[in-house]
Amino acid sequence: MSISNKTFNHLKTGCLTLFLALCIGSTAFAQHRGDDLAFQGIDELRDYDVQAMAMGNAYTSLSGELASLFYNPAGLATLDRFAISVSVNTFEKKWHENQEYRPNRLFVTLPFYLEELYIPDPTHIDTLTGLPMWDSDLAIDSSYQVQLPETGLQPFSEQAADWVNQEKGMVLNSVAFAYPLEVMKKGLVLSAAYKNNYNVLDFDRNETYLDPHLGYTKYNMPERVSGLDTIRVNWYRYMRQRTGNFHTARVGLGVELSKQVQIGFGMTILNGETEDVQSLDQHGYFDLADQNRFRFGYALSSTQYSGTSTFSSVSANIGGIYHFENFALGVNVLLPRTLTREWDYSQTVTDSSGSKTLNRTGTDEMSLPPQFTFGFHLTPSDIFLFSLDYQFTPFSNAEFDFADANTDTTHNAWVDQHILRFGAQFKLLDYLTLLGGYQYIPQTFVPDGSAFRDRGPAANSYSMGLSLDLYDWGRIDVSYEMRKLRYYDQYSSNTNYNVIDLNNLSIGYSYMF
């Protein structure tokens, strides 16, 4: 069976038109004040191969490797021998945040409290009212000692951070194989893989969670009062952490329709469980009054959620690659899918009257739109290869269905994501290939106070690696990735400088029979 020249020309024209039209027409979850657990951290789930990661994951248009199973199953079609691969991954992730409060004309000294440059004495109580003393009265006292702030520190630096958190680990990353067949004189390759994605590492902390917020209308910023009225602003310390172990089983089929055209189909089953903790511990409160007065009082209470979330989804993707003489075009479409989260939490509320624990369960669903990835690679000579990928996901069309109506009121919608990836290969020796890559990865959230409400801050990822051909003994691949995300949440009262660093080191071994 063969494709006629007329059909082939129509296919070629259609693929090129679709590719160019979409390229021309296109260009983590938020930390914020402190978002609820919901689907936090799940946006970082990703499949990758060791060699491809070293090339910035720009692999959509490449073929002839097992890695195509994770990027574009059409690339499997040119494998002509049985192939297996195994890989391990070690990772380290670090978060830190620096909150800087600034005085304003209404409550000039209030930032001293939030920056903890002044620690109030709990015995400073007005004997007539039984309430904490006004700050203006305390300031007359010689015990009103304010520490000098540290100066000269770069606001995004770890030295300036109010807190630092770090997680690290090592796991068996994947086991994959591919088996070539010939059906009706067409090349056909079946492939399957198991991946252990231990990459759900979500953390957020806010030492000055204010309710209502003093400097942002989104969080019910209070209006001024007059006379003897006061407004109470509660000060909490917030923390959220999610760690988990996700497993995916993936199958793929690549078909070589001709020397130029390959198509592929894939399916992935995902299951995983995370340990979740979220706490909101009250530190104290501010009473804001007329004439720019305020007072601070200590108040201890706590609300903590702890338990597990179980995630599951089934997804499918289709792809295609068209080869020219020394370059190729590829496309991969991840079809719409639904991610289900079943959660089982213990909610413990503690205050002056005691402690009470309730068990809460529910099921949340996230319906995700299709994802489109387009790739191009060029081989100007036998020793050089350059690749480029563009991935677009209209996350603004994602739909969320929460079992807890309270969660829905605090949920922040995702925004569209446009990812660019670049990769390169240089064959230094017959048995040694050097690899490099870069990724520009916008996040799915918009920081508080951002001027642009339709785009997230971008992480920058740099990677490098090598492939060592052992000839009859297979091949060893090594890759290293450094990723950094820096952004700030900005309010009229303060600015939060956030940094997330991720480092991945992967080693893989592959063998073709």
State mean pLDDT over 382-400.
96
Whether 506 and 53 have beta carbons less than 8 Å apart is answered as yes
pLDDT for 1 equals 36
Q: In the 8-state DSSP scheme, what is residue 204?
A: E
Q: Is the pLDDT of residue 8 over 60?
A: no
Q: Which residues neighbour 156 within 8 Å (Cβ) at sequence distance 6 or greater?
A: 98, 486, 497, 499
Give the domain extent around 228.
Answer: 5-512
Higher pLDDT, 23 or 490: 490
Confidence class for position 12, pLDDT limits 50, 70, 90 = very low
pLDDT for 18 equals 31
Q: In the 8-state DSSP scheme, what is residue 220?
A: T
pLDDT for 30 equals 54
State mean pLDDT over 187-214.
89
CATH number of the domain residue 98 falls in: 2.40.160.60
Q: Which residues neighbour 389 within 8 Å (Cβ) at sequence distance 6 or greater?
A: 56, 57, 58, 59, 60, 61, 373, 374, 375, 376, 419, 420, 421, 422, 423
Q: Is the pLDDT of residue 267 over 70?
A: yes
Counted domains in the chain: 1
**Tens-digit pLDDT profile for residues 306-329:** 999 999 999 999 999 999 999 999
Cα distances (Å, whole numbers) of residue 85 to 81, 82, 476:
13, 11, 10
Q: Is the pLDDT of residue 142 over 90?
A: no
pLDDT for 191 equals 97
pLDDT for 46 equals 67
Global pTM reads: 0.89
pLDDT for 182 equals 79
Confidence class for position 26, pLDDT limits 50, 70, 90 = very low
CB atoms closer than 10 angstroms to residue 143 = 7
pLDDT for 10 equals 40
Confidence class for position 39, pLDDT limits 50, 70, 90 = confident
Q: Which residues neighbour 296 within 8 Å (Cβ) at sequence distance 6 or greater?
A: 113, 120, 132, 135, 284, 285, 286
**Tens-digit pLDDT profile for residues 52-99:** 999 999 999 999 999 999 999 999 999 999 999 999 999 999 999 999
**Tens-digit pLDDT profile for residues 487-506:** 999 999 999 999 999 999 99
Instruction: Output the six-digit token pair for 53.
Output: 């990661």
Average pLDDT score over the chain = 89
CB atoms closer than 10 angstroms to residue 40 = 25
Instruction: Output the six-digit token pair for 234.
Output: 């509660």
Q: Which residues neighbour 206 within 8 Å (Cβ) at sequence distance 6 or greater?
A: 31, 33, 34, 97, 99, 237, 238, 239, 496
Q: Is the pLDDT of residue 389 over 50?
A: yes
Residue among 388, 475, 371, 470 at smallest CA distance from 424: 388
**Tens-digit pLDDT profile for residues 224-242:** 888 889 999 999 999 999 9
pLDDT for 36 equals 86
Query: In the beta sheet, which residues pair with residue 101?
Result: 494
**Tens-digit pLDDT profile for residues 408-430:** 556 788 899 999 999 999 999 99
Query: In the beta sheet, which residues pair with residue 8?
Result: none
pLDDT for 409 equals 57
DSSP class per residue in 403-445 = SSHHHHHHPPPP--EEEEEEEEEEEEETTEEEEEEEEEEE-SS
Q: Is the pLDDT of residue 149 over 50?
A: yes
pLDDT for 79 equals 94
